[in-house]
Amino acid sequence: MSENASLPRHIGFIVDGKSAMGKTAWLAGTYEGHLAGYNALKDVVLEVLHRGVKYASAYVFSTENWKRSEEEVRHLMKLLLNILKADLPIFIENEVRLRVVGSREGLSDQLIKAIDEAEEKTADLKNGELVLCLNYGGHLEIADAVKKIVQSGVSPEEITPELIAQNIYAPEVPPCDLIVRTSSEQRLSNFMLWRSAYSELMFIEKNWPDMTTDDVSVILEEYANRNRRFGK
């Protein structure tokens, strides 16, 4: 969409942190808390894509998050189902393609059906893509890629970084130019391990539910000032 190198092609969001009220949280607490986090996610992602960034990914549930309480996992799964069903028209209206990457193991049939439907109904939309990393883990993604490669019967000499890149989830989605994590946490927590090799990292103090479209300007401005060298 954009020829402008100072604009990232792909931003990954690690949505983290409690809201200012201290009551609500994304990935820590109530359904309402998660909902506040999701509403911020929708606003920020739509704004980012509107500005010409082609891909936004969001880490909404990790392969490790099953270790959370049963209640919290239930809240999150319910919210994710709602997003995929109730908010599908919003993504369609904005011509945003939805992709969901991660393992399907442990997900309910209902959720799997909603994922398939959301992906199918938005497959031809061209105003940017939202990649939901749901039951996603960077280690598992690489292990799954290796599994596919081995099953295809290639010889060890044929294994290259390019071949691995072609076998990760949604291989058309490019590396993350930028990864943003909120709530002052400074780690990747198994997010986009393959695609983060040369990502710029941005850590924001704000908690995710407090993020607004104004923050998008700040993020894009800071990115434009980064000096990316890729080893040169």
Q: Which of 19, 24, 57, 62 binds ligand IPE (CB under 6 A)?
A: 62
Question: Is the separation of the CB atoms in 24 and 32 below 8 Å?
Answer: yes
Cα separation, 35 vs 201, whole angstroms? 26
23/187 with CB nearer ligand IPE: 187
15/48 with CB nearer ligand IPE: 15
Cα separation, 42 vs 9, whole angstroms? 18
Question: Phi and psi for 227 in degrees, rounded to 5?
Answer: -110, 105
Per CB under 6 A, contacts with ligand IPE among 1-20 are: 14-16
Question: Phi and psi for 96 in degrees, rounded to 5?
Answer: -100, 130
63/167 with CB nearer ligand IPE: 63
Q: Which of 38, 55, 59, 194 binds ligand IPE (CB under 6 A)?
A: 59
Q: Which of 19, 57, 63, 65 binds ligand IPE (CB under 6 A)?
A: 65
Residue found by looking up tokens 């954009």 in the block: 2
User: What is the pattern of x (binds ligand IPE, CB under 6 A) and - over residues 21-50?
Assistant: ------x-----------------------
Cα separation, 146 vs 200, whole angstroms? 26
**H/E run at residue 218:** helix 213-224
End-to-end CA distance of the chain: 26
Q: Looking at 60-68, 87-95, 109-117, 212-220, which segment touches ligand IPE (CB under 6 A)? A: 60-68
Per CB under 6 A, contacts with ligand IPE among 91-150 are: none
64/158 with CB nearer ligand IPE: 64
Cα separation, 1 vs 174, whole angstroms? 14
For ligand IPE (CB under 6 A), the number of binding residues is 13
Residue 68 φ/ψ region, left for φ over 0, alpha for ψ in the -120 to 50 degree band, beta for the rest: beta
Q: Which of 36, 44, 46, 60 binds ligand IPE (CB under 6 A)?
A: 60
Classify each residue of 87-121 as buried b or exposed e, where b means 16 or more C-beta atoms within 10 Å of its C-beta.
Answer: ebeebeebebbbbbbbeeeebeeebeebbeebbee
Q: Which of 61, 91, 169, 194 binds ligand IPE (CB under 6 A)?
A: 61
Residue nearest to ligand IPE (CB): 189
Question: Largest Cα–Cα distance in the chain?
Answer: 56
- The CB-of-134 to ligand IPE minimum distance in angstroms stands at 9
Which residues contribute to the site for ligand IPE (CB under 6 A)?
14-16, 27, 59-62, 64-65, 185, 187, 189
